[in-house]
Amino acid sequence: MWIYEKKLQYPVRVGKCNPALAKYLIEQYGGADGELAAALRYLNQRYTLPNKVIGLLTDIGTEEFAHLEIIATMVYKLTKDATPEQLKEAGLGDHYANHGQGIFYHNASGVPWTAAYIAAKGDPIADLYEDIAAEEKARATYQNLINLSDDPDINDTLRFLREREIIHAQRFREAVELLKEDRDQKKVF
């Protein structure tokens, strides 16, 4: 069960109407290493992980949904008053043909999201290593997006999201260490 708080985890400010940037940002919405893939991956894998790391996947999976709505808000604000003509210039003419002003789960190239992006092996180490890789790939994607963007307000939010990927990767790495640990050698702080 979830409780929804009607506010964003980090504020979204947008400098100027820029549908071309929205096209790039959608990579983190419906792309292979995007927030939707991350949320669904963790919240699904957690059922077959050892008890002591299930809570971590619940927490991180939940936070990914908070990031998903941050990305959606950015895309919405960047495109909301764009004319079909402006969308066409930004390379979003084909998006508009199908979805109008709507937001959809696809990547920057318009490829729709697929469950083939995520995995569940039922093996704790294999799954956690996949999660670490996913966080590092998401971090790299945020770096690429910051490099592509000239909107300082958007970059501020993207930097926050990238920092969260770093923290998630750290916690997944710690989860692997927890599962590797021999009970009699456990280090107590």
Partner 1 sequence: MNTHHKTYNPYVSPFDPCPPIQVKTYSTPPHLYMGYQPPNLQQFTPSEALRAGTIWKAFYDPYYNTLEMAKEGIQT
The residues annotated with a catalytic role in the active site are 35, 64, 67, 135, 165, 168
Q: Is 166 in the site for partner 1 (CB under 8 A)?
A: yes
Give the shortest CB-146-to-partner 1 separation in angstroms.
5
106 - beta bridge partners?
112
- x/- letters, 112..141, toward partner 1 (CB under 8 A): ---------------------------xx-
SS3 string of the chain? Answer: CCCCCCCCCCCCCCCCCCHHHHHHHCHHHHCCCCHHHHHHHHHHHHHHCCHHHHHHHHHHHHHHHHHHHHHHHHHHHHHCCCCHHHHHHCCCHHHHHHHCCCCCCECCCCCECCHHHCCCCCCHHHHHHHHHHHHHHHHHHHHHHHHHCCCHHHHHHHHHHHHHHHHHHHHHHHHHHHHHCCHHHCCCC
Query: Is residue 185 a contact point for partner 1 (CB under 8 A)?
Result: no
Of 117, 163, 182, 184, the one binding partner 1 (CB under 8 A) is 163
161 binds partner 1 (CB under 8 A): yes
| Nearest residue (CB) to partner 1, 81 versus 150 | 150
Work out which of 177, 182, 183, 186 binds partner 1, going by CB under 8 A.
177
Residue 155 binds to partner 1 (criterion: CB under 8 A): yes
> Is residue 174 near partner 1 by the rule CB under 8 A?
yes
Q: What are the residues binding partner 1 (CB under 8 A)? A: 10, 139-140, 142-143, 146-147, 149-150, 152, 155, 159-164, 166-167, 169-170, 173-174, 177, 187, 189
